[in-house]
Amino acid sequence: MRELIDLLRSMSGNPQCQMETPASLPETLQEHVLPEDVQLFYRLCGGLTLGDDENVWARIVSPHECVQSWVGVYHYSPEELDKKRDDPSWA
């Protein structure tokens, strides 16, 4: 986690990085948990945009713009999917 803190601190002085003020955490369904690094990011930064006056190279959206999505995994059998339910990536 220290790496994330150091990275954001170093990026804050870069004119090609626009960091938003922290606002809140993204909302999730009750049974889902945001990973610790995502929580830390949004506690330190409300989103950021990398780029110059002409181009946006990358953007991490604000917590209010985050949407929870489901990614279908079709190459697993139902039995294999049941085994993966405890994996952190499931939620």
The pTM (predicted TM-score) of the whole model is 0.74
Amino acid at 34: L
Tell me the pLDDT of the chain (91 aa) as tens digits: 899 999 999 999 899 999 999 999 999 888 788 889 999 999 999 999 999 889 999 999 999 998 877 666 567 777 877 777 777 666 5
Give whole-number Cα distances, 24 to 11, 19, 33, 37, in Å.
20, 14, 15, 14
Domain ranges in the chain are 2-90
Helix (H), strand (E) at residue 58: strand 56-60
